[in-house]
């Protein structure tokens, strides 16, 4: 089996900023409520003509440049998204066409906020077995298109953006373990009920606002703390490491209180947790990808560091990866 690691990272955040003060004018909420309950101060919004693939392409190009890889040599593109450009074809195919990555095999992964961790795991499997030499994995979301801007319970939480990584064989370090899990019995906690084959789009589904994200926030909160803690423990166990060995945790950025409750259970000091939720809110599959990119670019991750990615999302699904940088 080949040793597989991340050899390039990139991100793209749309320019438009929506602050908590802006939201105060849209729904009955306050900066104080949003900040104390979630840790979010602002989020980015894609422009009207920006779809998920547009964000993905920009983040993907940056990751390829960082890895010094010509798109023509790319063998696999995986896009993790819950806001694809269209039901089909896959967003990965739009990315391929724009990049001119003619050789690449392309598909999307639907694993909500754990999508980037799932994509990384799939890419690692292909490359470690020698099926492909490299992969571009991208988490890209335009969650503003599935957000009900009249629902204060959810609209304050989400944002748009993309993060990408190039995965390839490495001589030292690389992925040490990966742990994924799913529980479909809890699907109703977080979903978009309309617009699929269960409730195809009709005037009725639109009037009932079924094409927007629905969430039982309280329930998700409790499960998220438990799941993220367990996933971290399991991935570390498989890598034969302790929590104290971890230099930096890149958690899914859903709620600062979820992240800090997990850190407390794992006995991890705050300085070893990467946070950017304040700037971007929850960007689903792109959250861990953007955070990883920022941590690398700002020197928070250095060669030899043990990095733990840890995410959960609608499904429910969850995943954690341990990487030696």
186 binds ligand COA (CB under 6 A): no
Q: Which is nearer to ligand COA, 192 or 215 (CB)?
A: 215
The Cα–Cα gap between 253 and 236 comes to 20
Question: How far does CA 281 lie from the centroid of its chain?
Answer: 12
Q: Which of 17, 125, 145, 221 binds ligand COA (CB under 6 A)?
A: 221
41 binds ligand COA (CB under 6 A): no
Query: Alpha helices of the chain — where are they, by DSSP H?
Result: 20-24, 31-38, 52-67, 91-99, 115-128, 152-155, 203-207, 217-238, 256-265, 277-280, 285-297
282 binds ligand COA (CB under 6 A): yes
Residue 203: active-site member: no
36 binds ligand COA (CB under 6 A): no
Q: Which is nearer to ligand COA, 149 or 242 (CB)?
A: 149
Residue 211: active-site member: no
226 binds ligand COA (CB under 6 A): no
Q: Which is nearer to ligand COA, 196 or 217 (CB)?
A: 217
What angle (nearest 5°) sits at the alpha carbon of residue 274, between those of residues 270 and 278?
100
Least Cα distance to 321 among 130, 180, 182, 135 occurs for 180
Q: Which of 19, 70, 202, 218 binds ligand COA (CB under 6 A)?
A: 218
Least Cα distance to 162 among 47, 311, 292, 286 occurs for 286
**Candidates 82-90, 213-221, 232-240, 299-307; binding stretch for ligand COA (CB under 6 A):** 213-221
Please report how close the Cβ of residue 287 comes to ligand COA at its closest, in angstroms: 8
116, 323, 311, 314: CA torsion to nearest 10: 40
The Cα–Cα gap between 249 and 255 comes to 15
**Candidates 64-72, 171-179, 243-251, 252-260; binding stretch for ligand COA (CB under 6 A):** 252-260
107 binds ligand COA (CB under 6 A): no
Q: Which of 3, 37, 211, 272 binds ligand COA (CB under 6 A)?
A: 37
Burial of 314 (0-12, 13-18, 19+ CB in 10 A): buried
35 binds ligand COA (CB under 6 A): no
The Cα–Cα gap between 202 and 85 comes to 20
153 binds ligand COA (CB under 6 A): yes
38 binds ligand COA (CB under 6 A): yes
Q: From the DSSP assignment, how many helices (H) and strands (E) are in the chain?
A: 11, 13
Q: Which of 17, 29, 234, 265 binds ligand COA (CB under 6 A)?
A: 29
Count of positions on this chain that bind ligand COA (CB under 6 A): 21
The Cα–Cα gap between 322 and 307 comes to 6
Please report how close the Cβ of residue 231 comes to ligand COA at its closest, in angstroms: 13
**Candidates 94-102, 150-158, 197-205, 298-306; binding stretch for ligand COA (CB under 6 A):** 150-158
110 binds ligand COA (CB under 6 A): no
> Is residue 6 left, alpha or beta, with left meaning phi > 0 and alpha meaning psi from -120 to 50?
beta
What angle (nearest 5°) sits at the alpha carbon of residue 257, between those of residues 14 and 271?
80
Residue 155: active-site member: no
Q: Which is nearer to ligand COA, 66 or 108 (CB)?
A: 108
Question: 270 φ, ψ to 5°?
Answer: -55, -30
The Cα–Cα gap between 12 and 63 comes to 10
Catalog residues that contact ligand COA under the rule CB under 6 A.
Answer: 29, 33-34, 37-38, 113, 152-153, 156, 190, 215, 217-218, 220-221, 224, 254-255, 258, 282, 313
């Amino acid at each position: 089996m080949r040793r597989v690691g991340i050899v390039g990272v990139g991100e793209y955040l749309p320019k438009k900023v929506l602050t908590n003060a802006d939201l105060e004018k849209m729904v009955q909420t306050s900066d104080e409520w949003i900040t104390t309950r979630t840790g979010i101060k602002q989020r980015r919004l894609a422009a009207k003509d920006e779809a998920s693939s547009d964000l993905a392409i920009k983040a993907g190009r940056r990751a390829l440049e960082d890895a010094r890889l010509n798109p023509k040599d790319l063998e696999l593109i995986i896009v993790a998204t819950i806001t694809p450009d269209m039901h089909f074809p896959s967003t990965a195919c739009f990315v391929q066409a724009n990049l001119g990555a003619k050789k690449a095999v392309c598909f999307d992964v639907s694993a909500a906020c754990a999508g980037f961790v799932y994509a990384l795991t799939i890419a690692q499997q292909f490359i470690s077995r020698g099926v492909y030499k490299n992969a571009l994995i991208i988490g890209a979301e335009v969650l503003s298109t599935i957000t009900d801007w009249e629902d204060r319970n959810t609209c304050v939480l989400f944002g748009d953006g993309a993060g990408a990584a190039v995965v390839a064989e490495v001589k030292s370090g690389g992925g040490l373990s990966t742990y994924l899990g799913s529980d479909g019995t809890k699907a109703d906690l977080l979903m978009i009920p309309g617009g699929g084959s269960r409730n195809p789009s009709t005037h009725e589904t639109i009037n009932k606002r079924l094409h927007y994200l629905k969430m039982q926030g309280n329930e998700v909160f409790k499960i998220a703390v438990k799941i993220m803690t367990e996933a971290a423990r399991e991935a570390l166990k498989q890598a034969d490491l302790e929590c104290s060995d971890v230099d930096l945790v890149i958690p899914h950025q859903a709620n600062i209180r979820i992240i800090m409750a997990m850190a407390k259970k794992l006995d991890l000091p705050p300085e070893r947790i990467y946070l950017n939720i304040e700037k971007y809110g929850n960007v689903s599959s792109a959250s861990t990808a953007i955070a990883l990119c920022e941590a690398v670019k700002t020197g928070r991750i250095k060669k030899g560091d043990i990095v733990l990615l840890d995410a959960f999302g609608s499904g429910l699904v969850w995943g954690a990866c341990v990487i030696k940088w």
